[in-house]
Amino acid sequence: MNTAAHVELVTPADARRRQREGAVLVDVRESHERATGFAEGALGIARGELEADPQAALPDRDADVLVICQSGARSMKAAQALLAAGYSRVASVDGGTTRWIADGLPITRDERDFDFYDRYSRHLRLPEVGEAGQRKLQAARIAMVGAGGLGSPAAFYLAAAGVGSLVLADDDVVDRSNLQRQILHTEARIGSPKVESARAALAALNPSVQVDTLQARITAENVEQLIEGADVVIDGADNFPVRYLLNDACVKLGKPLVYGAVHRFEGQVSVFDAGRHRGHAPCYRCLFPEPPPPEAAPNCAEAGVLGVLPGVIGLLQATEALKLILGVGEPLAGRLLHFDAMGMRFRETRLSADADCPVCAAGREFPGYIDYVRFCAA
């Protein structure tokens, strides 16, 4: 069996000369690495694919084969594998593509996908994401209710992560008091609709993300229009009637709902996925069969909120949304995560589906939307 001692090491300049004389130059990096630039004329085949079936790419075992990677380590191993497979003339390019570029040798780059591979390069390095997962994110659509405290960090990071389409619903305008925590907005956009301010911020961050907006209060008449095409729904609402309405619509349409709430120095996050898992996963009504009285749950304007707290909770919501789209990890379905900023502690409460839930009980027909304002007031 051939060993590493048999692998010839060549400089990029020598490799370029031999390439012109008929040698086959093979770049064994992954596709997302090659997309940022590769040696002109190189054949792109990931190392694992090449080693699994070298003859598919290199049918002539006597051909002059030059292997290149980023710095030279992977190409050396690939060259060893080719020698072991019976190839007689194999060399590794010393210093790889990094040295090739430094030496001023010509490279090729696919400009069509350069932004994709360059922007998401850190995602592409994660086996749990990779190119297939990033393409899932690119094709995904997330509906968000609220472009305020929770919606701001969640939308920012979802756009940065490359979620292809975001739908933002909010009927409010930017107020100076929002700027302490609602990081999508700026001083210059005070008085502007929050959804338009959010659109401007997200377009500046990632122009490839499509941002659709609905400047209206969410009601039973428009909620399905908002969420029907979404893969995931994020609840960034600040009032109970909208939370119950959003929950019921997600159960009816079978959409996973990522819930978040903040109060002074504390926050909560969960995933309610009863619409897709009747009788197994709980919905918001299973946690709160009846809304608390208004005096027990004042909003931020009444009770105040630590400015960074919505950032923590909103980012946890964004994390859950990304996991749901990618199909990785363990979502918070059936679990309520509670965050105490003062004590810097997280605690978890297990949730179960309510067999008598009026909305999500197994086999129960959707009862229809109700007057949620009256329900919460009562």
Q: Are strands 266-272 and 335-340 parallel, antiparallel or unpaired?
A: antiparallel
Could you tell me if 36 and 121 are in contact, meaning their C-beta atoms sit under 8 angstroms apart? yes
Could you tell me if 184 and 197 are in contact, meaning their C-beta atoms sit under 8 angstroms apart? yes
C-alpha 9/C-alpha 20 separation (Å) is 18
C-alpha 79/C-alpha 83 separation (Å) is 6
Of 283, 300, 357, 376, the active-site residue reads: 300
- Residue identified by tokens 């130059």 is 25
Residue from 34, 37, 12, 27 nearest 94 by CA: 12
C-alpha 367/C-alpha 359 separation (Å) is 7
Chain centroid to CA 339: how far?
22
C-alpha 84/C-alpha 376 separation (Å) is 73
300 is catalytic: yes
Instruction: Please count the other Cβ atoms lying within 10 Å of the Cβ belonging to residue 190.
Output: 15
Q: What amino acid positions are annotated as catalytic residues?
A: 300
